[in-house]
Structure 1
Amino acid sequence: MSAPLPFEGLRVLDLSRLLPGGFCSLLLADFGADVIKVEDTGMGDYVRWSPPAFAGAEPSAGGALFLALNRGKRSVRIDLKSDAGRQALLDLARDADVLLESFRPGVLDRLGVGWEALRAVNPRLVYCAVTGYGLTGPNVQRSGHDLNYLGLNGLLAISGDEDGPPTQAGGQIADIGGGALMAAFGILAALRERDRSGQGQLVDVSMFDGALSWLAMVAARVFAAGERPRRGDEMLGGSLVCYRPYRCADGWVTLGALEPKFWAAWCAGVGREDLVPRQFDRPGGETHAEIQAIFAQRTRDEWAAFASEHDCCLEPMLEVEEALASELVRAREMVIEFEQPGAGTVQGLGMPVKLSRTPGRVRSGGPGLGEHTEQVLREAGYDDGRVAELLASGAVAGPPEADADAPGSFLSR
């Protein structure tokens, strides 16, 4: 019998959509939390309808992108524009530990189920709002996406080469690093404090703030020395020949020989000890050209073999599909398989945090839209008659009919 997971007994109401909130509650679900995904009575979470879909599965069950963020959760459908729907959410909140949302500030307040209303029914509730710019400040009501937050907090300005355009990251730094992970940390910090005080609190997570915190060491130089960081000048951002990607005969490799011992090992391995004192030269000059020529002489596999012989922080740059199939990813159990109803055995990314006694695991696949509405309402004390009444009124909904079109989100109407 498996040991209890760390968050077993923790109930989370997740009203968020798309990536930041979904990834945050995924971490909680994989480690045992009962995450109840509260979706509207229209199309639900938009990511459900994003391709690619699983062959043979109902469209409302969600495709691969939905499953990547929502395995191990339950789904209920509630119309928060109806009095009965709002009351249903308040009733679910009475026994919840956490409520997570990612609407623009004020949306749930206007609907009558914001922080003040929720803590009135459950003073122990931890309420986490993930927003672009936070619940205070001049940008409260501005729309935004990952790229906008990185543009405003300075991170984009120092990403890329000096003479080139700002370089967009392939992953969502602000959404996940500034939003989802900060939200998970904030929730756990508030729960830990609740153990002492018995009181919940509001967790205000701004993706702008969270991604700005990634610049801790860069900002320290500004504060202490009045430096003006610029694209192409950052030591770890491409300004050193010893710490850059290089094109090889059939692709790219990454050289991270920042410490002198690693640089000396690379120089010795290629028979160019004369380059040792030129470790911190800038790109674009003679040293850079010579290093580029050296890397162009070997393939990725040859450089990988070189790195196994010479300890110099050198690795091939893999395409995503190559990385997912790599021995390293498999050994770290970062690709896993589990059963998804209607789709059979599917693959997903594994747990990025490994616990020795109580490791996370996938307890179920992703929920169908409204699959657990009746079950969750009954757990909240609703009898069969009340559940049927709510379903008939449209205040809540179960799974959509197989041939029904989703009428749209209550927020888009």
Structure 2
Amino acid sequence: MMAGSHLLSGLRVIDITRNLPGPFATRMLADLGAEVIKVEPPEGDPARALGPLFKSLNDGKDCRTLDFKLESDRAQLRDWLASADVLLEGFRPGVMASMGLDFETLKVLNPKLVMCSITGYGQQGLWSHRAGHDLNYMAMSGALDQMRSAQGEATLSNIQWGDLAGGSSMACIATLAAVFSAQRTGIGCHVDVSMTHGLWAHQVMPQATGAMLAPMLGKLPGAREDLLNGALPCYNLYTTQDGRSLAIGSLEHKFWKATCDVLQQPDWSQQHWQRGLMPNSPESNQLRDQLAALIATQPLSHWAERFAEVDACVTPVLTLGEAQAHPLFTDEQARQPWTITP
């Protein structure tokens, strides 16, 4: 049993979402002990075509089938909602109302109901009715532009940050807050989650550091120009002799000093942003290039061994297969995103 799996015991959640954002949100609720009824259309959730994905998202849920084209099935859903605490839906704005399942109707049936709607751009506004996927939400929020390669090309992330961070996590947090309020007041509410705006909210660092560095650059930072996307020699990715990558995250000076000791470059230890080395300055860029040249002289295994026992925030960039086999993740308890102890 997963740690903390009893905390939401008694919470009844009806999930009529599909694909990734909603199902991952309710999987987290299920992991914490909620009873989750997953409602699928007759043809099944599209994620069923990817068996391992569907199992990962929906294991432990009570999967049921309804056809929302049928009034009898919509009536069945209303019956379930009469005793539910939460409804999660992911249709475009207006679809729920067209089926007689809008929040104004449902709250008459169940005043304590919390309804969470996850959409790409929110229930209202200029883009509310537009279609989109994770890539579009990443692109429109400005998040994708923060993930450019060293050559300045935009890159595709294999983590669906819009769906999961902007959607699932925001939905889970806001829904639990709404449930907490409903349990105290007896009054539910409608939670409107926009994945694009959720991603915008996650850009705390680039918005803050970008504003700080813009006067020096004469523009907002681009690829390798912001504080944590490549401007600092001490916080960067470096290519090794065998074409792999080493992550140097020595953001604090004490870690940078330890890194320089391992690299046998004591003269570099005082060249650090906490010691006055300005990001994007010629001196900083020169140090970054010198460090890159040094890391390129040895394979990743060499550097991984050298830094294995050194507390310097330096790690190899593992492949997914290597991460799966790493002792950090082989223990079942270590796979849990949280540990909750009474």
Q: TM-score under structure 1 normalisation?
A: 0.75
Deviations 1:104-152 (A, max 9, x none): 1111110111212211111110000010001111110011111211211
Q: Greater relative contact order: 1 or 2 (C-alpha under 8 angstroms, separation 6 or more)?
A: 1
Q: Does residue 1:245 correspond to 2:254, yes or no?
A: no
Query: CA–CA distance in 2 between the matches of 1:4 and 1:257?
Result: 36
Residues 10-409 of structure 1: pairs in structure 2 closer than 5 A = 10-41=11-42, 43-50=43-50, 63-161=51-149, 163-220=151-208, 228-250=220-242, 251-279=244-272, 280=277, 282=280, 285-331=285-331, 333-334=333-334, 350-357=335-342
Q: Would you say the 8 A contact 2:4–2:340 is kept in 1?
A: no
| Identity percentage of aligned residues | 37
Report the structure, 1 or 2, having the larger helix content. Answer: 2
Query: CA–CA distance in 1 between the matches of 2:177 and 2:230?
Result: 36
Q: Name the structure 1 match of 2:7.
A: 6
Secondary structure at 1:183 match in 2:
helix
* Letter matched to residue 23 of structure 1: F
Query: CA–CA distance in 1 between the matches of 2:240 and 2:64?
Result: 52
Q: Would you say the 8 A contact 2:89–2:117 is kept in 1?
A: yes
Deviations 1:61-101 (A, max 9, x none): xx111101000001111111111111111111000000001
Query: CA–CA distance in 1 between the matches of 2:10 and 2:302?
Result: 51
Deviates more, 1:208-217 or 1:300-309: 300-309
Q: Would you say the 8 A contact 1:115–1:127 is kept in 2?
A: yes
Query: CA–CA distance in 2 between the matches of 1:94 and 1:208?
Result: 31
Q: Would you say the 8 A contact 1:26–1:69 is kept in 2?
A: yes
| Shift in CA distance, 316/222, structure 1 to aligned 2, threshold 3 Å | closer
Shift of 1:26: 0.4
* Letter matched to residue 32 of structure 1: G
Q: Name the structure 2 match of 1:54.
A: none
Shift of 1:307: 1.7
Query: CA–CA distance in 2 between the matches of 1:276 and 1:161?
Result: 27
Query: CA–CA distance in 2 between the matches of 1:270 and 1:133?
Result: 48
Q: Would you say the 8 A contact 1:161–1:238 is kept in 2?
A: no
Shift of 1:158: 2.5
Q: Name the structure 2 match of 1:360.
A: none
Query: CA–CA distance in 1 between the matches of 2:134 and 2:4?
Result: 38
Gaps of 5+ in 2: none
Gaps of 5+ in 1: 51-62, 335-349, 358-413
Query: CA–CA distance in 1 between the matches of 2:157 and 2:306?
Result: 28
Query: CA–CA distance in 2 between the matches of 1:226 and 1:302?
Result: 38
Q: Would you say the 8 A contact 1:30–1:351 is kept in 2?
A: no
Deviations 1:214-266 (A, max 9, x none): 11233345678976243322110111221111122332211011111111111
Aligned CA-pair RMSD: 2.3
Query: CA–CA distance in 2 between the matches of 1:3 and 1:235?
Result: 37
| Shift in CA distance, 299/232, structure 1 to aligned 2, threshold 3 Å | closer
Q: Would you say the 8 A contact 1:179–1:205 is kept in 2?
A: yes
Deviations 1:359-391 (A, max 9, x none): xxxxxxxxxxxxxxxxxxxxxxxxxxxxxxxxx
* Letter matched to residue 263 of structure 1: W
Shift of 1:319: 0.3
Shift of 1:311: 2.2
Aligned length: 329
Q: Would you say the 8 A contact 1:245–1:252 is kept in 2?
A: yes
